[in-house]
Structure 1
Amino acid sequence: MGAVTSPLNMSEGKAPRSRARGRLQLLLILLVVLGPMILATSMYKLKFWVPDSRSYHGEMIGNGPTRADLGVSAEEGRWQLLVSTPKDCGLDCQQLVYLARQIQIGLGRDASRASHALAAAQPLASDYQAKLDREYPQLQRYPLDVSRYGTVSQGKQDAQLWIIDPHGNLVLRYDARVKGKDLLNDLRHLLKLSNIG
């Protein structure tokens, strides 16, 4: 007489196959969820598969310094065009201050999402101070800590214009040779991609 197979024996044979299949499904789900994050982090940290072309015109600040690291102690909940100068505010600095205001105006309906500011290490000349009071009423002014500024600015002593996000992170840096149209396009692109500020 042949052996009788009980339903209990049949279910025991299916259980290991079912467990193995469940584990495989769990591993696939984890791979789909965690894989892209691990790949993106590796690409950022190890700098591989990073495209050579770029769509911005300034110098990208990618290692995480903030406005405080720059030597400016201020809080701003919007995007900011900050002009910094470790010396007196000469012609290049004044041109960047003018440009920052024009860029903010050029944003049109998004102008309220950004502000413009000046951080200077030395007191401004009295005639320029009077001009700013008269013609730039919304310009925010901050003192600049030169000892902290040098590390982030990589020792550059000329005036710089920085785009800073609403969390205070430095995003892009420009020197006095920047074209207004390029700067405006960069800021518009950032505002389009951002849900903050």
Structure 2
Amino acid sequence: MGSAMNPPSMSEAKPVPSRRRGRIQLLLIVLGVVGPMLLATGMYKLQFWVPEGRSYHGELIGNGQTRADLGVQADEQRWQILVTAPKDCAVDCQQLVYLARQIQISLGREAGRASHALAAAQPLSADYAAKLDREYPQLQRYPLDAGVFARTTGDKAVPQLWIVDPHGNLVLRYEPNVKGKDLLNDLRHLLKLSNIG
């Protein structure tokens, strides 16, 4: 009768399986660390849940290609606005060269972190070369290997504008009809995020 009245002591209560609880906690910790990495990898590889919106206007080049893959040999240690002309530098090309210079000037205090350049596969006309010498004294000029350029870009014969990082990696590509404001916003954003160049 006395035992029915007294509650069981702590030593007589059913023990909580602490080993099982520890395993569950360890599993939750591992899932909390590894789970997001697996999810992110799956999203990248399988392209699901990828947001449609983007904050840049050009075509993002994220495959590790460099300026050399375009057929341009240069050693620029700053951000570069590079115009490529796989044929002669006609009207579209000349407009991009003008735009590249204006964008660099528009960077204001940050202008020293960037340069503008032209890589042409064919010699420039004497008149245009003289104009560049006279009006574009800071423009860097390089030869463009048209064969290498065609292999990399899929034989696009139109002039294009590229943003290249200080390590020579291609970051963004633009067609000849790019709007200067969009290009300037992209470059300013890159300079703001970057601690190189």
Same-fold status (TM-score > 0.5):
yes
1:51-88 residue CA offsets vs partner (Å, 9 max, x unmatched): 11222211222322111111111122211100001111
1:76 maps to a residue whose letter is E
2:7 aligned partner: none
**Equivalent residue, structure 2, for 1:136:** 136
Per-residue CA distance 1:16-45 (angstroms, 9 max, x = gap)? 946973x66655555444443333333222
Are 2:74 and 1:74 equivalent residues in the alignment?
yes
Question: Bigger shift: 54-63 or 106-115?
Answer: 54-63
The answer to whether structure 1 residue 127 and structure 2 residue 130 are counterparts is no
Compared CA separation, residues 112 and 47, structure 1 to 2 (3 A): same
1:4 maps to: none
Following the alignment from structure 2 to structure 1, what is the Cα–Cα distance between the partners of residues 132 and 93? Answer: 13
- Give how far 1:184 is off: 0.4
2:145 corresponds to which letter in structure 1? Answer: D
User: 1:77 & 1:38 partners in 2: Cα distance?
Assistant: 36
Displacement, 1:113? 1.2
Q: 1:137 to 1:20 in 2, by over 3 A?
A: same
Report the Cα distance in structure 2 between the residues aligned to 1:92 and 1:152, rounded to whole angstroms. Answer: 21
Structure 2 Cα separation of the partners of residues 153 and 25 of structure 1: 52
Distance 2:34 2:78 in 1: 32
1:1-197 correspondence runs (5 A): 17=18, 21=22, 28-197=28-197
Q: Which ranges in structure 1 are unaligned for 5 or more consecutive residues?
A: 1-12
Aligned partners of 1:148, 1:24: CA distance in 2, in Å? 56
> What does residue 8 of structure 2 align with?
none
Deviations 1:103-161 (A, max 9, x none): 01101111111111110001111111111111111111111111111132222101100
Q: Provide closer, same or farther for how the CA distance between residues 30 and 168 of structure 1 changes in structure 2, counting only shifts above 3 A.
A: farther
Identity among equivalent positions (%) equals 74
Task: For 1:113, give the aligned amino acid.
Answer: R
User: How many residues align structurally?
Assistant: 183
Residue in 1 that maps onto 2:10? none
* Corresponding residue of 1:5: none
> Structure 1: how far apart are the matches of 2:21 and 2:143?
64
**Highest CA radius of gyration, 1 or 2?**
2
- Partner of 2:112, secondary structure, is helix
Compute the displacement of 1:195 (Å). Answer: 1.8
